[in-house]
Amino acid sequence: MKREYRETPRQEIWQAIFENTIYGFLGSVIVVFITKGIDIAVLLGYVSYYFFLGRVVNRPKYVTQIGKFILFPVPTALGAFTGYKLAGLLSDLFW
């Protein structure tokens, strides 16, 4: 995995981290808004999530160990947790 990390362009790594973090974030905020019953936020969450899902589904699949075991699950989980916490704070502030 160290070799794959060294051989992968830094821009590609950061792009994957960013995309997967946003993917996890958008997926988790929907759950919080559903739980709180904020219908307009649920709708906006779904629209954002499915627009972004089109980007995630249509990109090349991860074939390396670093992609499968680091670049997808770690940023996605961190983004989901951040979305869960932030959506709770935002819903309390605005609704």
- Cα 65 to Cα 62: distance, rounded to the nearest angstrom: 8
User: Structurally, how many domains does the chain consist of?
Assistant: 1
Whether residue 74 is contained in a domain is answered as yes
- Cα 46 to Cα 52: distance, rounded to the nearest angstrom: 10
Q: What is the maximum span of the chain, computed from C-alpha positions, in angstroms? A: 49
Say what the pLDDT of residue 2 is.
85
Whether residue 6 is contained in a domain is answered as no
Whether residue 3 is contained in a domain is answered as no
Q: How far is CA 36 from the centre of its chain?
A: 21
Whether residue 30 is contained in a domain is answered as yes
Token output for 49 = 């999530």
Whether residue 1 is contained in a domain is answered as no
- Cα 46 to Cα 30: distance, rounded to the nearest angstrom: 7
Whether residue 88 is contained in a domain is answered as yes
Selection from 43, 32, 23 nearest residue 92 by Cα: 32
Whether residue 62 is contained in a domain is answered as yes
Say what the pLDDT of residue 90 is.
87
Say what the pLDDT of residue 62 is.
86
pTM score above 0.75: yes
CB 60 within 8 A of CB 9: no
Parent domain of 70: 11-94
Contacts of 90 (CB under 8 A, 6+ apart): none
- Average pLDDT per block of 10 residues along the chain, 95 residues long: 88 93 95 93 95 90 87 93 93 82
Whether residue 69 is contained in a domain is answered as yes
Token output for 50 = 């499915």
